[in-house]
């Protein structure tokens, strides 16, 4: 008897933990599932937020989950969406090969799939949107070359190379390296792998400067690593504004609000802006048009160009930079 009581308590316990959240939601006609690689990046966070706003605007339900850079988990999430009976799935994949099976299963279940930021190398995809990561990295190198074009060098560069197994950031790194190889006065002296751990930026920067005190340029293939780098530079006493001859040039990819803030304050030099913020929102809009009006997207793939943001053209293009929009919104709140 006592066992049954304990059993009952245990079941109630778990049910309570689940039930409250579940039944509080109203049923909407369209449910879209979205999986993103991770929310450590302000770019993905903004992408999620814009997606949720768009869903609200159009009156559809969206569930955004983060796969924590684990392709197996992303696969499970796609499966979960199929099991939960969503109408459409949006995938920002971690691995273009690894996601194929998930896409195929969604195909089998008759659920359309939209991929953003990275393609799936297989399966049938309804629509695809991305920016060119390779050229984003390359643009950063072009700007650096431009800054130092009259300097015989060697100009020492420190790159916070992230994770070679994550295609998007690795492409940016390769793009940067490709361009750098064309300029004899530019030299990469340190490019440690930081994995996808944002916390490693601080120590990596300190160590890089320990080994190479004359670093003049820092390249961040992902701007989430900016904060730790800045703290490290401050501790090293190397945090100088652009106007100071000791200034260390910082360039990166993403265009998030922290990069924008630092550029306004005169410390950050160049950001290759990805318009990734609207990807999920666009995908949701495409789905809604299809489900409600039967309209298919005019093109099957869309490539959004990368914007190069720097102090020289800042005022000119700032309204097209999502990081600037987020920065202004947050400033307005304070």
Tell me if 264 contacts another protein by CB under 8 A.
no
Vertex 23: Cα angle to 17 and 28 (nearest 5): 140
Q: Which of 30, 32, 60, 66 binds another protein (CB under 8 A)?
A: 66
Q: Decide whether 136 or 196 has the Cβ nearer to another protein.
A: 196
Q: Decide whether 142 or 196 has the Cβ nearer to another protein.
A: 196
Q: Which of 153, 164, 241, 311 binds another protein (CB under 8 A)?
A: 164
Contact 274, 254 (CB under 8 A): yes
The neighbouring-strand residues paired with 115 are: 91, 128
Tell me if 70 contacts another protein by CB under 8 A.
yes
Which range touches another protein (CB under 8 A), out of 145-153, 191-199, 276-284, 297-305?
191-199
Torsion angles phi and psi, residue 193, rounded to 5: -85, 125
Q: Which of 14, 299, 329, 331 binds another protein (CB under 8 A)?
A: 14
Q: Decide whether 3 or 149 has the Cβ nearer to another protein.
A: 3
Contacts with 72 (C-beta within 8 Å, 6 or more apart), sequence order: none
The total number of residues written for the chain in this structure: 334
Tell me if 199 contacts another protein by CB under 8 A.
yes
Q: Decide whether 14 or 299 has the Cβ nearer to another protein.
A: 14
Structure tokens at 195: 């994995």
Tell me if 207 contacts another protein by CB under 8 A.
yes
Q: Which of 1, 13, 243, 294 binds another protein (CB under 8 A)?
A: 13
Tell me if 38 contacts another protein by CB under 8 A.
yes
Tell me if 180 contacts another protein by CB under 8 A.
no
- Tokens 């369209």, residue? 30
Nearest to 231 by CA among 239, 222, 223: 239
Q: Which of 30, 32, 34, 45 binds another protein (CB under 8 A)?
A: 45
Q: Which of 230, 248, 253, 272 binds another protein (CB under 8 A)?
A: 230
Give the separation between CA 228 and CA 180, rounded to whole angstroms: 25
Torsion angles phi and psi, residue 90, rounded to 5: -115, 130
Tell me if 109 contacts another protein by CB under 8 A.
yes
H/E stretch holding 206 reads: helix 200-211
Give the separation between CA 205 and CA 195, rounded to whole angstroms: 14
Tell me if 260 contacts another protein by CB under 8 A.
no
Give the separation between CA 97 and CA 181, rounded to whole angstroms: 29
Q: Decide whether 198 or 264 has the Cβ nearer to another protein.
A: 198
Which range touches another protein (CB under 8 A), out of 40-48, 145-153, 244-252, 295-303?
40-48
- How many whole angstroms from its chain centre is CA 80? 23
């Amino acid at each position: 008897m006592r066992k049954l009581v304990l059993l009952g308590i245990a079941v109630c316990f778990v049910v309570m933990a689940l039930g409250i959240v579940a039944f509080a939601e109203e049923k909407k006609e369209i449910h879209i599932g979205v999986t993103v690689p991770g929310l450590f990046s302000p770019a993905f966070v903004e992408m999620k937020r814009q997606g949720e706003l768009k869903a609200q605007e159009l009156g559809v339900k969206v569930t955004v989950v983060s796969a924590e850079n684990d392709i197996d988990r992303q696969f499970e999430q796609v499966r979960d969406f199929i099991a939960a009976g969503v109408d459409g799935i949006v995938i920002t994949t971690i691995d273009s090969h690894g996601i194929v099976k998930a896409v195929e299963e969604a195909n089998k279940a008759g659920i359309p799939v939209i991929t953003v930021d990275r393609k799936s190398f297989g399966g049938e995809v309804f629509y695809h949107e991305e920016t060119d990561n390779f050229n984003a990295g390359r643009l950063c190198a072009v700007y650096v070359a431009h800054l130092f074009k009259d300097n015989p060098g060697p100009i020492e560069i420190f790159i916070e190379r992230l994770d070679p197994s994550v295609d998007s950031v690795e492409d940016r790194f390769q793009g940067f390296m490709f361009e750098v190889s064309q300029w004899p006065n530019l030299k990469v002296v340190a490019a440690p792998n930081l994995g996808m751990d944002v916390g490693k930026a601080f120590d990596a920067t300190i160590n890089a400067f320990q080994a190479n005190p004359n670093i003049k340029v820092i390249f961040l293939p992902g701007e989430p690593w900016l904060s730790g780098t800045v703290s490290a530079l401050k501790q090293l006493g190397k945090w100088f504004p652009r106007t100071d001859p000791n200034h260390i040039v910082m360039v990166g990819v993403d265009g998030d609000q922290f990069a924008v803030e630092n550029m306004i304050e005169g410390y950050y030099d160049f950001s290759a802006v990805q318009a990734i913020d609207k990807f999920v929102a666009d995908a949701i809009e495409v789905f809604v048009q299809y489900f409600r009006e039967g309209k298919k997207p005019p093109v099957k793939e869309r490539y959004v160009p990368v914007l190069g943001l720097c102090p020289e053209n800042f005022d000119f293009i700032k309204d097209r930079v999502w990081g600037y929009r987020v920065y202004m919104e947050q400033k307005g709140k304070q």
